[in-house]
């Protein structure tokens, strides 16, 4: 007979005075971890402690892994690790890495943990770093904060370590997408059990929860095996088509998608969901795959006024939008995986009432919800949080009851709020990779006795901004917490008073619970140091209203302002209007910006003197990501200048009033156009030039003249380099090569080189950097080249005529353009992607720039899919890339030859003689399988057919070839996506003779119907550089530059990672020259 859960509680009558007899080994009634409150003031500089996690039995993570300890020990840092039999890494692993295993941490000057530290174990006068859950003034975290203040702890919170050192910036130390990965694995496991309860056995039943596998690789293998079974045998027809809808596009979504994509899948656009078949009538093909659908804000809401969706406006004025997800997405979803950020300003995705309504209307399709975000009363109707050991409940929309029995009717819910702890090894290693760079500075000195003393000021900005308290005081950046505490305390008392009058009314099923009258106010200025936020609370309290802080962005220095969104609530609309009027008057008096949501559109609340003006030259496919990124900052205004009027109009409509279109011809010699260029540059804080490289120099001269900084994604030309002295003299920064290649390649390479060669006696043996913009694998098969044009086809062909040179084993290798494709070499990346590698122009110039002129092997290459070279060799050797005019083709200029006639004329043979034509090709291509592949490609181009020659100058072979390649198979079709691949490899000989191989890999895919991977990686990188220059150009210096130094690559790589663009780095020891 099952024992009721209440029987597991400890009997209240049991005496606890006498301890049981001592025994060795595991004790069933033993303590769950010794707690030694003893402490010695101070700690020893240079000693780091790693605390044992004990918040719950599932918390097996650590802030650093043994490999990180080994690196710290190499730097002369003593590491003490508390013993643990529960942690994913054994004590012996840490001991082997050089750590000391002991219970006592009193010698440690800095102690790192993952979760909150019990108050009685918080050693005084130390630097402590962990997730403290105090920065939002959460009542539950205040006793811990009070203890840290009392004990003069220097408290550092991982959540606040950001690129800019300011809250709200891209986080640098986090558990990435592991919540999404673990959540998806667990949810798929639950679906298997749930489907069995519904009467259907599926391969999903054989998948376990994440924590059941020794590592992520094994968990992925289990999911992949289930996918193989689905591919072979299919899912039950009653479940198909199986449609999984994902919300958001961040790291959590990416992690969850990576798991679902281990199953056979097809991406489907949200707009196509209504076209999908009803469950139970899916085709046999439907049963052998899952349909995955990514939804973003534009699919979740619509403008109340019927205007097109505007992302910036939606986030600024969410009350101008109403929810549609519950009617346009929910009815067609088999499962929903909720990964998106949400707060109370925004409409909910769907509610319990929506599920009930669809069930009653016969649309009972929804079988499961995986709520990875775990927001209480959040965007989806998660009634309760679950645990790792009991991860599921079933919600019955008809009875509005939940059940822990998966056999009961209803929708399966999964809502575990500490998912990364299910993948403790990989999560800890990722976390430690992020944290490692900051630890040496943190152990250099003792925590200060008073706030503002000690060595905190010398820490990197990212770390300084994460210090919540020191010397018994809140730091300047976090003094607002005290006001937040007061606001929360008042809010509790105000809610109790209002509960008598509001009658339980809500503002609608897709909003948070609220009284009859409410409004959101956006405030900006010195909200906390001026005590303005307290004054707002006083005003609301005096009118028996209620205030709730829904969003907050606190300035990081005395001169910075803060922003907050507050939900003000009252019993009646009349009372609300009175309160809002009082707050408005107070804001005017305090010089705080005030905006009632729905008013002051398009950033008008930003004072003119605070606005930053960006001049963006060019309106091509890269410009969109640049504008979107820069307009995230409310003070930025972007003027887009181009000769393409239609593109300018599109951007203005898409991005709103802070994106200002301007017709401009960069090269025009017209005096009025010249005056306009001067005026635009003069009024701008920074120029971002995305026009062709030959157009940069003229604008750069204007930038120097008017002392305006400039950003480009292009290579530094000789003409641009010649402006260096003028730029320095004018105090102007012109940063170039901040795209993908060049750009991210420089950033990743220099970081890897500087890190790998930081130890004395190291010698670089080899460096190679490879990059390619390609169609994603599923889109590459329509063309024999495995390539599609995202820019000028002729430009691609012209680039393939460039000669190349590089260093190989100490020798200079040179290849003329005519033989470039013949020099291609095969390579396989990540054991999955088969590429051809082509040398990319003059690599030796970059050896100088990278500070390695003497390195034996230095190579930069271009990636294409395997088979590209053997086909393009034929194109080159048959003369199809010749610029022209070609003498033997001149007679065809005024004629209309067929393709075959033109090709025969180029080869100097008779078109009607197949044998002669084949022999002419063989003479140039040789014999063998490569030659046959080349001939097949010539046939695919149509050069052996009697079709008319396309419109192109017949005397110029490269123009004809361009026209032949400009066909549907070589162009991206709707729904097809591209990808970029980048790979760095560095071989370093250490002083002890061992050889290290360092690699860094970037694979970035576009989303179907979304921004291309190329546009994203180029545009976001250029925009990040521009924003860094806007924020503070001083650290970067002046003159014509490339991003080759730490001052560039450190912040840019961290911000790129926050955008989901990350190079995966690995290092291995090579034990002998034979293995190189």
State the SS3 of 405-428.
CCCCCCEEEECECCHHHHCHHHHH
Estimate the share of the chain in helix, then strand, then coil, as percent rounded to the nearest 5.
40, 20, 40
DSSP string, 939-969: HHHTTTS-SBPPSS-TT-HHHHHHHHH-SGG
DSSP class of 842 = B
Residue 548: which residues within 8 A CB-CB, separation 6 or more? 344, 491, 566, 567, 569
Contacts of 565 (CB under 8 A, 6+ apart): 345, 520, 521, 522, 523, 549, 550, 551, 552
Q: Are the beta carbons of 372 and 388 closer than 8 angstroms? A: no
Sign of CA dihedral 388, 394, 400, 401: negative
DSSP 276-311: SPPTT---TTGGGSEEEEEE-HHHHEEETTSPPP-H
Q: Is the peptide bond before 742 cis (omega within 30 degrees of 0)?
A: yes
1032: Cβ–Cβ under 8 A, 6 or more apart, which residues? none
Beta carbons of 397 and 364 less than 8 angstroms apart? no
Cα distances from 1009 to residues 295, 303, 309, in angstroms, run: 12, 21, 16
Is 741 annotated as catalytic?
A: yes
CA 277, CA 778: separation in Å to the nearest integer?
24
The closest of 1042, 1002, 983 to 845, measured between CA atoms, is 1042
Q: Which helix (H) or strand (E) holds 546?
A: strand 546-553
* Tokens, residue 38: 């003893």
Chain centroid offset of residue 446 CA = 35
* Cα distance between residue 555 and residue 168, in whole Å: 10
Distance CA 841, CA 860 (A): 8
Where would I find the H helices in 878-913? 899-907
Query: What are phi and psi for residue 927, nearest 5 degrees?
Result: -120, 175
Answer whether 805's CB lies under 8 Å from 860's CB. no
CA dist., res. 1072 & res. 1074, Å (int): 5
Considering only CA atoms, which of 529, 550, 498, 487 is closest in space to residue 139? 487
Tell me whether residue 811 is exposed, middle or buried, using C-beta atoms within 10 angstroms of its C-beta: 0 to 12, 13 to 18, 19 or more: exposed
Alpha-carbon distance of 162 to 466, in angstroms, equals: 8
Catalytic residue among 522, 741, 836, 1050: 741
Residues with catalytic function: 741
């Amino acid at each position: 007979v099952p024992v009721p859960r209440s029987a597991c509680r400890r009997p209240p009558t049991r005496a606890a005075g006498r301890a049981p007899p001592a025994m060795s080994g595991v004790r069933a009634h033993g303590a769950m971890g010794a707690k030694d409150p003893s402490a010695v003031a101070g700690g020893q500089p240079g000693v780091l402690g790693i605390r044992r996690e004990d918040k719950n039995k599932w918390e097996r993570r650590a802030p650093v892994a043994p490999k990180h300890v080994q690196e710290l020990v190499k730097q002369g840092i003593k590491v003490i690790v508390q013993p643990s039999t529960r942690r994913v890494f054994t004590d012996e692993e840490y001991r082997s890495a050089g750590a000391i295993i002991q219970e006592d941490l009193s010698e440690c000057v800095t102690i790192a943990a993952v979760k909150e530290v019990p108050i009685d174990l918080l050693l005084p006068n130390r630097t402590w770093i962990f997730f403290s859950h105090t920065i939002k003034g959460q009542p539950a975290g205040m006793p811990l904060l009070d203890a840290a203040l009392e004990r003069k702890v220097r408290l550092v919170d991982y959540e606040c370590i950001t690129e800019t050192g300011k809250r709200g910036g891209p986080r640098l130390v986090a558990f990435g997408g592991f919540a999404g990965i673990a959540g998806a694995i667990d949810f798929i496991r639950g679906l298997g059990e749930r489907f069995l309860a519904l009467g259907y056995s599926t391969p999903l039943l054989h998948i376990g929860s994440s924590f059941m596998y020794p590592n992520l690789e094994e968990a992925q293998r289990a999911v992949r095996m289930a996918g193989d079974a689905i591919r072979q045998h299919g899912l039950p027809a009653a479940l198909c088509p199986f449609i999984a809808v994902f919300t958001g596009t961040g790291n959590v979504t990416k992690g969850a998608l990576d798991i679902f994509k281990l199953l056979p899948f097809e991406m489907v656009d949200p707009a196509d969901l209504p076209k999908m078949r009803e469950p139970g009538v899916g085709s046999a093909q439907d049963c052998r795959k899952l349909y995955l659908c990514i939804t973003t804000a534009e699919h979740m809401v619509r403008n109340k006024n019927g205007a097109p969706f505007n992302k910036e406006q939606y986030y600024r004025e969410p009350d101008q939008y109403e929810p549609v997800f519950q009617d346009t997405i929910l009815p067609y979803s088999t499962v929903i995986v909720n990964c998106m950020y949400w707060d109370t300003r925004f409409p909910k995705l769907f509610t319990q009432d929506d599920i009930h309504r669809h069930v009653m209307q016969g649309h009972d399709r929804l079988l499961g919800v995986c709520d990875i975000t775990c927001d209480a009363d959040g965007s989806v109707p998660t009634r309760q949080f679950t645990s790792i050991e009991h991860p599921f409940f079933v919600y019955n929309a008809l009875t509005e009851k939940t059940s822990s029995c998966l056999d009961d009717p209803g929708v399966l819910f999964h809502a575990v709020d500490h998912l990364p702890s299910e993948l403790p090894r990989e999560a800890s290693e990722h976390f430690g990779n992020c944290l490692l760079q900051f630890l040496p500075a943190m152990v250099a000195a003792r925590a200060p006795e008073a706030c503002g003393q000690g060595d905190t000021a010398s820490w990197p900005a990212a770390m300084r901004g994460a210090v919540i308290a020191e010397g018994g005081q809140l730091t300047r950046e976090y003094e607002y917490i005290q006001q937040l505490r007061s606001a929360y305390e008042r809010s509790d008392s105000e809610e109790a008073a209002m509960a008598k009058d509001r009658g339980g009314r809500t503002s609608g099923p897709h909003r948070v619970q609220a009284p009859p009258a409410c409004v959101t106010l956006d405030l900006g200025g010195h909200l906390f140091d001026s005590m303005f936020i307290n004054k707002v609370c006083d005003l609301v309290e005096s009118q028996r209203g209620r205030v709730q802080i829904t969003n907050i962005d606190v300035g990081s220095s005395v001169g910075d302002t803060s922003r907050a969104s507050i939900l003000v609530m009252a019993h009646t609309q009349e009372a609300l209007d009175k309160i809002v009027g009082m707050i408005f008057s107070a804001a005017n008096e305090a010089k705080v910006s005030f905006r009632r949501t729905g008013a002051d559109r398009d950033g008008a609340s930003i004072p003119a003197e605070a606005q930053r003006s960006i001049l963006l030259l060019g309106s091509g496919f890269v410009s969109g990501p640049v504008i979107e990124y820069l307009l995230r900052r409310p003070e930025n205004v972007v003027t887009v200048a181009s000769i393409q009027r239609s593109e300018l109009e599109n951007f203005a409509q898409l991005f709103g009033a802070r994106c200002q279109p301007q017709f401009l011809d960069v090269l025009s010699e017209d005096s009025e156009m010249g005056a306009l260029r001067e005026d635009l540059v003069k009024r701008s804080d920074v120029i971002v030039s995305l026009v062709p490289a030959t157009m940069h120099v003229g604008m750069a001269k204007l930038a120097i003249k008017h002392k305006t900084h400039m950003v480009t994604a292009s290579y530094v030309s000789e003409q641009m380099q010649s402006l260096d002295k003028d730029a320095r003299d004018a105090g102007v920064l012109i940063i170039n090569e901040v795209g993908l290649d060049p750009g991210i390649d420089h950033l990743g390479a220099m970081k890897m080189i500087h890190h790998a060669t930081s130890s004395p006696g190291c010698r670089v043996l080899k460096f190679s950097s490879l990059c390619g913009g390609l169609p994603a694998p599923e889109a590459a098969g329509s063309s024999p080249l495995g390539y599609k044009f995202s820019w000028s086809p002729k430009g691609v062909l012209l680039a393939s005529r460039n000669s190349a040179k590089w260093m190989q084993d100490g020798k200079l290798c040179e290849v003329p353009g005519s033989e470039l494709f013949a020099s291609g070499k095969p390579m396989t990346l990540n054991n999955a992607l088969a590429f051809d590698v082509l040398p990319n122009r003059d690599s030796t110039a970059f050896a100088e720039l990278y500070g390695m002129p003497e390195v034996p092997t230095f190579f930069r290459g271009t990636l294409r899919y395997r088979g590209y070279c053997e086909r393009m060799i034929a194109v080159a050797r048959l003369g199809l890339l010749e610029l022209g005019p070609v003498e033997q083709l001149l007679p065809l200029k005024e004629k209309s030859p067929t393709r075959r006639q033109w090709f025969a004329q180029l080869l100097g043979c008779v078109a009607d003689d197949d044998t002669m034509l084949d022999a002419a090709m063989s003479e140039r291509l040789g014999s063998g399988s490569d030659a046959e592949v080349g001939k097949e490609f010539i046939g695919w181009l149509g050069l052996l057919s009697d079709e008319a020659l396309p419109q192109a100058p017949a005397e110029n072979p490269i123009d004809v070839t361009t026209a032949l390649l400009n066909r549907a198979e070589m162009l991206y079709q709707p729904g097809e996506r591209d990808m970029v691949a980048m790979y760095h490899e560095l071989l370093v000989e250490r002083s002890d003779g061992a050889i290290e191989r360092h690699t860094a890999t970037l694979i970035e895919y576009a989303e179907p119907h979304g921004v291309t991977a190329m546009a994203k990686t180029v545009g976001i990188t250029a925009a990040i550089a521009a924003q860094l220059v806007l924020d503070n150009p001083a650290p970067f210096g002046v003159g014509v530059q490339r991003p080759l130094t730490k001052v560039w690559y450190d912040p840019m790589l961290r911000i790129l990672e926050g955008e989901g663009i990350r190079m995966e780095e690995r290092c291995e020891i090579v034990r002998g020259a034979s293995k190189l």
